[in-house]
Amino acid sequence: MSDEYDNNKSYQAQSSEVLDGSAGSINPDMDYVRPAEIPEQDLYHAHSFIEKWIFCQDAKVIGVQYFLTAVFTGIVGLILSWLMRLQLGFPELAGFMTAEHYYQFVTMHGMIMVVYFLTALFLGGFGNYLIPLMVGARDMVFPYVNMLSFWMFFVAVAVLMASFFVPGGPTGAGWTLYPPQTILEGTPGSGTGILLMLISLSLFVIGFTMGGLNYMITILQARTRGMTLMRMPLTVWGIFTATVLAMLAFPALLVSAIMMTLDKVLQTSFFMPTILKAGEVLEYGGGSPILFQHLFWFFGHPEVYIVALPAFGIVSDLISVHARKNIFGYRMMVWAIVGIGGLSFFVWAHHMYVSGMNPWFGFFFATTTLIIAVPTAMKVYNWILTLWRGNIRINTVMLWCLGFIVTFVNGGITGIFLGNVSVDVPLSDTYFVVAHFHMVMGIAPLMVIMGAVYHWFPLVAGKMLSETLGKWHFWITFLGAYSIYFPMHYLGFIGVPRRYFEMYDSPYMTSTVGMNEFISVAAFIVGAAQFILVFNIIKTLKTGKKAEQNPWKANSLEWYTSTVPPEHGNFGERLPVVHRWPYDFSVPGAKDDFIPQTTAPSEVANTEVEKT
Amino acid sequence: MSEQKIDGFELKPGFKGMASDTGSDQTMFKGVHWGKAMMWIFLLSDTFVFSCFLISYMKGRGSTIVDWPNTSEVFSLHVGGVPVPLLLIAIMTFVLITSSGTMALAVKYGYEKNRKMCGWLILATAVGGLTFVGMQVFEWSKLIHEGVRPWGNPFGAAQFGSFFFMITGFHGFHVSIGVIFLFIYTYKVFAGHYESKKRGWFTKMKGDYVEIEILGLYWHFVDLVWVFIFAFFYLW
């Protein structure tokens, strides 16, 4: 759609100046780019330490702030999972832990990892850092609101963490917070804990809305000259679609949080049916617990794709760069992302097959669920076809990408099992489900995050992370993760229920002891292995070797900033002008095996480059 | 279809033209101010919030075991001893919709750089919004006086009070936020900040009359939401 620029030939691009200052030959006809439509952005530069590093309006600093806060909560979530595995594998060592503690750890682990770790990391962290750089903008379009977004998230995390220290502790209702038991006495943290959780979620939604508006408008309205929608890196497409999902799905979470808060505080009965407790009728009556499940999963299922779509986008870019090959079927990839995003709003009730809803409803949602496998499978094929006959570099980043593909396919296939009502019903609430969702939306996106950290660290910090440590980190994590979750599939098949503190006198108790011990040991090792990355980052910051500009020889704009790491305003005097997609790798006839997006067509006139 | 120009960008006719304009470089919505695009998308998100509230209300009202209160009695005002249903609510709706009209005029005069008229009309809008909130306070206190509480009421299903206070409260909160901003913008317009390009207190950004239109979008949205609340609570 970019080849019909017949009119307005009065303005011509001077792209070679932008790239490196060398004067290339400019061919006005070939190199035509539309004149600028948007005025230069008015940026507020920081004047003090506080404005520069704390209440900062620069999206890159905000991205790093989001990243560090999310990683902090992620480490809390990791420690909680260790405690759970200690109880499940070695209950005799976990004498300090009561069943109530265990439920609280399960709940907080789930909520932290899904919302405060993965969502914040992908959209807040990578989104803030990469969107303006990749689309060629000076900053997010509303820097002040962006700053507020981070601090709102920070307060949400603080409120969440505070719930560990209130009387009764955090809520132990499971991360899905199903009423009525969530706010009834007897559930751990049904007093202050659940209130803080609901407040924290509401704050998160408000903060995210501020950020999400920024991401969307920056991508839609602030791209640089020549950056058409179909020339954007897939990372941007993934983050963009995930943001759209979040803007439409988080309202359901906000509403259910508000309604449950009122049920808790004002004794309303939105979700509370008539309840008999010890022979006494409680004040509640007439509400619908299923309504909460619908609202929650209307948020909850898109949430899965809010985490997965940025991962899809980022991994596409990483694979393309490190296999030195253009992404296979770029447009198909874009439409698959958009299609998955759209479909994700029509599958939510597959989380509710055992809730007692009408079987025809389940039939409908099983169908939509299986349809969503089609665009997803297309993406997997395209990643593999990108690798096929590529000039693959087996470095740390590529290892994480390969690990992602394998893990994602694994989790995706078990998803097809669970999408069918008749298969799902016996497997509901077993460890099979735990294994499925950890594979598909836990480990797989995490692998992309790791790959992305190794890939973009040279840009953020200007230094190269150690490859040796990186490979150790990868192999321990990859093999360890499979040691954890493969046995869990088996546990699920023999019927071990999830979320149980212990197996009591059931037959599972004796037959699964060895396996639970094995899983727990693997979990301890994998968790500890993540600190290799922390060590790697600290060591690299102190003594690491300085990264050259664009160490991976990538094409996208973030590597072509005026300085590395990029400063406020990103691109120096003039914004770059884009002439192509970011995937021109190994083009026959080209001097190098990559052609940056800023290279004008006349500079590569004799190559077999595709028109994009 | 004739060719159209927006800010020097030539739009091409037909579906293919629309697709190529949408996917073209720099901006998707040609000539649309960033803040305006942001407000539209925020309103889309907010629509989902209110939809979730109203759908929950329909579900809650549809599945209560106790009868729903007779709304034309509960919401009626007694004028000279005669109950007049929908009286207060008709006045409230009239005031709010009128304030949408003054808002639209304020936007028009803003773009015409008629500072005085623009300022007075924003002030009128703010006063209209404030009157609406005031009448809502009156209605709430009347209902509370009659024994309606979020957790129960003497007229029927307990969910009536729950949904009523929650949803009208959430809408009233939106109106109140709007009123606060309307007063701020009244000040900014009368003080001539848009002419002098004075930078904002917090954002440090220069303002423009387009901000009036952006606030107007929000105000019309709040108004539109009220129409739905009116229909679902008072007419159902």
Answer whether B10 touches A (CB < 8 Å). yes
Going from the C-alpha of A241 to that of each of A215, A218, A245, A336, B52, the distances in angstroms are 10, 13, 6, 11, 21
Q: What is the C-alpha to C-alpha distance for residues A525 and A438, in angstroms, rounded to an integer?
A: 17
Of A8, A254, A270, the CB nearest to B162: A270
Residue A358 in this model has a pLDDT that exceeds 90 = no
Query: Could you tell me which of A525, A519, A527 has the C-alpha nearest to residue A488?
Result: A519
pLDDT-based confidence at A25, cuts 50/70/90?
A: low
Cβ neighbours, 10 Å, residue A6:
8
Contact (CB<8Å) B25/A270: no
- Residue A271 is encoded by which pair of tokens? 């979700």
Q: Which domains does chain B have, with CATH numbers?
A: 1-31 (no CATH), 33-235 (1.20.120.80)
User: What residues contact B143, with CB distance under 8 A and at least 6 apart?
Assistant: B74, B161, B164
pLDDT for the residue numbered B14: 85
Looking up tokens 């040796």, which residue turns up? A468
Residue B7 in this model has a pLDDT that exceeds 80 = no
Q: A479 in helix, strand or coil? A: helix
**Chain B residue nearest residue A146, CA to CA:** B203
DSSP labels for B149-218?
BTTB-TTS-THHHHHHHHHHHHHHHHHHHHHHHHHHHHHHHHTTHHHHTPBPTTT--B--THHHHHHHHH
Residue A3 in this model has a pLDDT that exceeds 80 = no
Of B12, B28, B158, the CB nearest to A285: B158
User: Which DSSP category does B232 fall into?
Assistant: I
Q: Which domains does chain A have, with CATH numbers?
A: 56-604 (1.20.210.10)
Under a CB-based contact definition with an 8 Å cutoff, are residues A209 and A250 in contact? yes
Contact (CB<8Å) B151/A259: no
- How open is the CA angle A102-A103-A108, to the nearest 5 degrees? 100
Contact (CB<8Å) A259/B166: yes
Q: A589 in helix, strand or coil? A: coil
Cβ neighbours, 10 Å, residue A534:
11
Answer whether B22 touches A (CB < 8 Å). yes
A545 CB-side CA count, 13 A: 5
Query: Could you tell me which of A296, A257, A202, A239 has the C-alpha nearest to residue A119?
Result: A239
Lowest model confidence (mean pLDDT) among A165-179, A222-236, A350-364: A350-364
- How open is the CA angle B175-B180-B185, to the nearest 5 degrees? 120
**Chain A residue nearest residue B19, CA to CA:** A1
Of B10, B46, B150, the CB nearest to A266: B150
| Average pLDDT in chain A | 91
Of A33, A221, A252, the CB nearest to B37: A221
Tell the burial category of A543 from Cβ atoms under 10 Å away from its Cβ (0-12, 13-18, 19+).
Answer: exposed
Q: What is the pLDDT of residues B27-76, one digit of tens each?
A: 999 889 999 999 999 999 999 999 999 999 999 999 888 899 988 888 88
Answer whether B7 touches A (CB < 8 Å). yes
Contact (CB<8Å) A37/B44: no
pLDDT-based confidence at B84, cuts 50/70/90?
A: confident
Q: A277 in helix, strand or coil? A: strand
pLDDT-based confidence at A42, cuts 50/70/90?
A: confident
Residue A15 in this model has a pLDDT that exceeds 60 = no
Under a CB-based contact definition with an 8 Å cutoff, are residues B90 and B164 in contact? no
* CA torsion angle B194 B195 B198 B201 (round to 10): -20
- Helix (H) / strand (E) element for A246: namely helix A234-265
**Chain A residue nearest residue B20, CA to CA:** A1
pLDDT for the residue numbered A19: 43
- Helix (H) / strand (E) element for A284: namely none
Q: What is the C-alpha to C-alpha distance for residues A309 and B171, in angstroms, rounded to an integer?
A: 33
Looking up tokens 């998803």, which residue turns up? A415
Contact (CB<8Å) B150/A230: no
- Residue A461 is encoded by which pair of tokens? 């910090």
Q: What is the C-alpha to C-alpha distance for residues A276 and B217, in angstroms, rounded to an integer?
A: 49
Q: What is the pLDDT of residues A386-425, one digit of tens each?
A: 999 999 999 999 999 999 999 999 999 999 999 999 999 9
Contact (CB<8Å) B26/A36: yes
pLDDT for the residue numbered A277: 87
Which residues on adjacent β-strands are paired with residue A281?
A276
Residue A4 in this model has a pLDDT that exceeds 80 = no
**Chain B residue nearest residue A295, CA to CA:** B52
- Residue B83 is encoded by which pair of tokens? 């109950």
pLDDT for the residue numbered B6: 66
Going from the C-alpha of A507 to that of each of A94, A504, B199, the distances in angstroms are 22, 9, 71
Contact (CB<8Å) A269/B34: no
Of A142, A255, A268, the CB nearest to B151: A268
Lowest model confidence (mean pLDDT) among A405-414, A561-570, B177-186: A561-570
Name the more confident of B83 and A152: A152
pLDDT-based confidence at A375, cuts 50/70/90?
A: very high
Residue count of chain A, please give it: 612
pLDDT for the residue numbered A379: 96
List CB contacts (< 8 A) between A286 and chain B: 63-66, 157-159
Contact (CB<8Å) B56/A295: yes
Looking up tokens 């994009």, which residue turns up? A612
pLDDT-based confidence at A347, cuts 50/70/90?
A: very high
Q: What is the mean pLDDT of residues A550-575?
A: 92
Mutate to test the interface with B, among A7, A269, A292 (most CBs of B within 10 A): A269
pLDDT for the residue numbered B8: 63
Helices assigned H by DSSP within A31-98: 49, 59-89
**Chain B residue nearest residue A43, CA to CA:** B205
Cβ neighbours, 10 Å, residue A319:
27
Q: What is the C-alpha to C-alpha distance for residues A343 and A455, in angstroms, rounded to an integer?
A: 31
User: What residues contact A322, with CB distance under 8 A and at least 6 apart?
Assistant: A392, A393, A395, A397, A398, A401, A552
Answer whether B34 touches A (CB < 8 Å). yes
Contact (CB<8Å) A1/B48: no
Under a CB-based contact definition with an 8 Å cutoff, are residues B214 and B39 in contact? yes
Contact (CB<8Å) B27/A262: no
- Helix (H) / strand (E) element for A7: namely none
Residue B172 in this model has a pLDDT that exceeds 80 = yes
Contact (CB<8Å) A37/B26: yes
User: What residues contact A277, with CB distance under 8 A and at least 6 apart?
Assistant: A184, A185
Q: What is the mean pLDDT of residues A122-132?
A: 96
Q: Is the pTM higher than 0.80?
A: yes
pLDDT-based confidence at A187, cuts 50/70/90?
A: very high
Q: Report residue A211: phi and psi, to 5°.
A: -65, -45
Which residues on adjacent β-strands are paired with residue B10?
B5
pLDDT for the residue numbered A6: 37
Helix, strand, coil share of chain B (percent; to 5): 70, 5, 25
Under a CB-based contact definition with an 8 Å cutoff, are residues B223 and B48 in contact? no
- Residue A228 is encoded by which pair of tokens? 């058409």
Mutate to test the interface with A, among B5, B32, B34 (most CBs of A within 10 A): B34
Q: What is the C-alpha to C-alpha distance for residues A596 and B83, in angstroms, rounded to an integer?
A: 76
Residue B176 in this model has a pLDDT that exceeds 80 = yes
Of A8, A250, A286, the CB nearest to B159: A286
Of A141, A228, A252, the CB nearest to B23: A228
Answer whether B177 touches A (CB < 8 Å). no
Residue A353 in this model has a pLDDT that exceeds 70 = yes
- How open is the CA angle A461-A464-A467, to the nearest 5 degrees? 140
Of B30, B151, B159, the CB nearest to A267: B151
% pLDDT > 70, chain A: 95
Radius of gyration from C-alpha coordinates of chain B: 22
In this prediction the ipTM stands at: 0.94
